[in-house]
Amino acid sequence: MSEHVAVELANGVLSVALNRADKKNAITQAMYTALAEATERARTDDAVRVVLFRGEGDSFSAGNDIADFIAIGQQGGRQMADAPVFRFLRALADLDKPAVAAVRGRAVGIGLTLLVHCDLVVVAEDALLSAPFVNLALAPEAASSILLPMAIGHQRAYELFALGEPIDGRTALAWGLANRAVAADQVEATAAELAGKLAARAPNSLKKTKRLMRDAEALWAQMLREGEAFGSQLTSPEAMEAFMAFTQKRAPNFS
């Protein structure tokens, strides 16, 4: 269990909080393992009715830790499917209980693609959501290459992936990526209220409803396809240039 993921069960709601505020909740390998354990527990523990993903500090998540990307890339890339992130993705694909997200501040990369696995999403009006995979010379992950276009349409999803520019919470609501956009200081309370409502609903009915709405095996197959593209990009010179540019606080040069 990573100290950077805080898990707490109360009244049927399993709160899973990213807790690495000084790094904008960027997610390390150890954190993916903790997220996977929490999500697996959510599915199998009858005491858990709802999962609530949230972030401590001012941001939901800055996405995958870039230092980890560099380390994996320099090791010549490992089998992506063996990486802790894939254990988490498998658990997300298989999760048949309701998932709620409370998003304030930045939601980058998997911080955004996690949201298309959540059933109710509450964002701050001034939150900034982005999926800058192409800016990092990577590829979409978490089955977002099918779930995001399904949610918001091809052109909007493509723009998010390819231009990597953030949209705010109001836009996320207008595009159908969120259920509610509220003032930042209302996000936690609104998400907790929605999670509480779901926790009181008939659990088997909720499970069957979610299973009918999502094909877990198809999502997993797409995650593996994406993993091949992502994994080969991760070890590419263009990705290394993008990661180095981030750590050196400069713009990347892909010429």
Instruction: Give me the residues that bind ligand COA (CB under 6 A), please.
Output: 23-24, 26, 62-67, 106, 108-109, 132-133, 136
> CB burial class (10 A; 0-12, 13-18, 19+) of residue 229?
middle
Cβ 160 to ligand COA, closest distance in Å?
Answer: 12
Task: Compare residues 132 and 252 and give the one whose CB is closer to ligand COA.
Answer: 132
Sheet strands side by side (includes 128-130): 106-108, 128-130, 167-168
Q: Which distant-in-sequence residues (6+ apart) come within 8 Å of 124 by Cβ?
A: 103, 104, 105, 169, 181, 182, 183, 184, 187
CB 81 within 8 A of CB 44: no
Cβ 146 to ligand COA, closest distance in Å?
Answer: 18
Cβ 114 to ligand COA, closest distance in Å?
Answer: 12
Block residue for tokens 């800058």: 132
Task: Compare residues 85 and 195 and give the one whose CB is closer to ligand COA.
Answer: 85
CA atoms of 67 and 74, how far apart (whole Å): 11
CB 69 within 8 A of CB 26: no
Cβ 128 to ligand COA, closest distance in Å?
Answer: 7
Task: Compare residues 49 and 106 and give the one whose CB is closer to ligand COA.
Answer: 106
Task: Compare residues 10 and 162 and give the one whose CB is closer to ligand COA.
Answer: 162
Task: Compare residues 109 and 252 and give the one whose CB is closer to ligand COA.
Answer: 109
Cβ 23 to ligand COA, closest distance in Å?
Answer: 4
**Residue closest to ligand COA, measured at CB:** 109
CB 243 within 8 A of CB 136: yes
The answer to whether the Cα torsion of 46, 47, 49, 54 is positive or negative is negative
Q: Which distant-in-sequence residues (6+ apart) come within 8 Å of 197 by Cβ?
A: none
Cβ 107 to ligand COA, closest distance in Å?
Answer: 9
Task: Compare residues 26 and 195 and give the one whose CB is closer to ligand COA.
Answer: 26
Task: Compare residues 91 and 136 and give the one whose CB is closer to ligand COA.
Answer: 136
* H or E element that contains 120: strand 120-124
Cβ 165 to ligand COA, closest distance in Å?
Answer: 11
